[in-house]
Amino acid sequence: MESFQLQTWQSFLLVFVFLAVAVGLRFWLAKAAWGYHPGGAKGYLQDLMIETAVSYAPLLVIIFGVKLYIDANPQYAESPMVFASIALAVVSMLAAKRIPVVKAAYGRMMKARNDRWEALKQP
């Protein structure tokens, strides 16, 4: 029985589609907060794209870099380097969220959401 394995470009495409759907859903579900964002819907989308792109870029670069390396050198597929690279990718993603530009974008989105909830509380 053959196992199913995606090619590298198929994996990349799958991840890209998943991220696009996730960003689209996050944007659509936050529709009520768009009016409370300083840049409106366009500004909210820009902040969402900044947060997503900068946060996930290091993770994707590391994961796909290791995948390409293993495709070229299959003898290292069971190497501890693979598991260490996954940990490094997750840590780099978490560290990227602390970059001032990303923190500012996230802060504006959260403020818009909080302002929307506060407006609902008003009689």
Question: Using H for helix, E for strand and C for coil, what is the string for 56-90?
Answer: HHHHHHHHHHHHHHHHHCHHHCCCHHHHHHHHHHH
Distance CA(117)–CA(101), nearest Å, equals: 25
Amino acid 2: pLDDT: 65
pLDDT at 41: 95
Tokens of 73: 């050198």
pLDDT of residue 82: 83
The pLDDT score that the predictor gives to residue 1 is: 55
Give the residues of the chain that fall short of pLDDT 70.
Answer: 1-3
